[in-house]
Amino acid sequence: MAEAHLNLNAVKALIVDGDSYSVALLSGILRGFELRAQTVVASTKEAKALLRDGYFDVCFCNADLPGEHGTELVRWIRRRADGLVRFAPVIVVTGYANSEAVFDARDSGANLVIKKPVSPQVIYDRIDWVTRHERPFVECDTYIGPDRRHVSLGPPEGKERRVHKLALERRAPDDRRTIVEL
């Protein structure tokens, strides 16, 4: 498979994180990818003020923010923000990721949830994934955001229940040749 190749030179990113050390880490990683147009804010309040009339191509939001949880900001972006920014990819970064926290982030309308520690590989591959896998946008009473059903799990596990298959099992449980002939 060909190596991924992303051009992040013209991308504008919003980083919402109240911890200066975490910001330094993420910002350093993104600079390594040549994503230099970074705006950093420490709280959801500042982020909302910027997003009311600004646009960002991608938003990295820490789940644990001072004052309000990061997923509340994601909900706000999906419901209240104007223009294209409503549809912009939002990646939630979380430190302690139990299943409840991950489901909450997913249900808030985030495109992806990344568990800390973030590594350059993970960040690069997730940006690549977000841009390669276009998902329809869902708007309903209980959820606004990218379609959460993005994993193809195939047919359900368990016993085959189709009538003709059951007939085959009854007639020739161990005889592969007979099954092929049928």
Partner 1 sequence: MFFPPNKLAELVRQPGGKPRDAAIADAGRNIDEQRDYLAEGIREAVHSIEAVIPRSDGPAIPSPLVEIILQGCDRIIGLAGVLGYQSLEAAAKSLCDLIACLARSGEIERAPVLVHVQALQRLSERPAEVSAREAAVLIDQLARLVGHYANRA
Smallest separation (angstroms) from partner 1 to the CB of 178: 46
Cα 68 to Cα 45: distance, rounded to the nearest angstrom: 8
Which is nearer to partner 1, 122 or 163 (by Cβ)?
Answer: 122
3-state secondary structure (DSSP) of residue 110: coil
Q: Is the peptide bond before 155 cis (omega within 30 degrees of 0)?
A: no
Cβ nearer to partner 1, comparing 103 with 137:
137
- Minimum Å distance from CB 165 to partner 1? 33
Least Å from the CB of residue 157 to partner 1: 27
- Choice between 89 and 110, CB closer to partner 1: 89
C-beta of 123: minimal distance to partner 1 in Å? 8
Half-sphere exposure of 138 (CA within 13 A, CB side): 18
Q: Which residues bind partner 1 (CB under 8 A)?
A: 3-11, 19-22, 24-25, 28-34, 57-58, 64, 84, 86-89, 93, 95-96, 98, 116-121, 123-124, 127-128, 130-132, 134, 136-138, 147
Tokens 């049928």 sit at which residue? 182
- The amino acid sitting at 14 is L
Rounded Cα–Cα distance for residues 66 and 86 (Å)? 23
